Amino acid sequence: MNAEQIEALPYRPCVGVMLVNDAGHAFAGQRIDNHQDAWQMPQGGVNSGEAPIDAAFRELWEETGVTQDKATLVSQTQDWIAYDLPYDLVPKIWGGKFRGQTQLWFLFRFRGEDTDITIETEHPEFREWAWMPISDLPEKIVPFKRATYDAVISEFEPLITWA
C-alpha cells in the first residue's frame, strides 16, 4: 500500500479505558504480542450498534477481568482522539482496512482489590500488568500513540481528585 491509499482508509472506532486506583495510579498492561517495552491501557473496538460506554466496560472486562461493579465512571473525553498507524503496520493490522483508530476514552475509578484483576482471560492481551503513575504512561506506550496518551492525561488528570 502506498501513502495515498493508506490516507484514504477510515479510522477504526475504538474505546480506551483509564482505570485509576485509590493512589491515583493507572492500570497498564505489557502487551503479550510485543516483546519490547510496549505497555498500554485497556482499549478495543466498538462493535456495530454498541454504545461506546458499553464497549468500554466490555473491553475492561475482556482485558483485565474487572467487572462493572468494580469500576465507577468518572468521565469521558470530550472528543474522539485519532491516531495513525505507521505505514508499515497498516497492511498487517485489522486486515489493512484502517489507517489507525479514533478513540473515545473513559476514566474509571477502580473500586476493587488487586485480586479482582486477572489478565489470564479467554483471549489474553497482556503478559503482565502494573499500577503506574499517570505521568509515566506516555514513555511506556508505543511512540505512535504518545500524542493520544498526552491528550487523555491532559483531560483526565485534573479529575483524579481522590488520590
Query: Going residue by residue through the chain (163 aa), what tens digit of pLDDT does each one get?
Result: 899 999 999 999 999 999 999 999 999 999 998 777 889 999 999 999 999 999 999 999 999 999 999 999 999 999 999 999 999 999 999 999 999 999 999 999 999 999 999 999 989 999 999 999 999 999 999 999 999 999 999 999 999 999 8
Q: Where are the alpha helices (DSSP H) in 12-161?
A: 52-64, 137-140, 146-156
- Choose among 154, 120, 145: nearest CA to 38: 145
Any residues with CB less than 8 A from the CB of 48 and at least 6 apart, and which? none
For residues 151 and 80, give the distance between their C-alpha atoms in angstroms, rounded to a whole number: 11
Q: What is the pLDDT of residue 163?
A: 83
- Angle 120-18-10 (CA atoms, 0-180°, nearest 5)? 90
Cα-Cα-Cα-Cα dihedral of 139, 162, 102, 51, to 10°? Answer: 150
Q: What is the pLDDT of residue 51?
A: 98
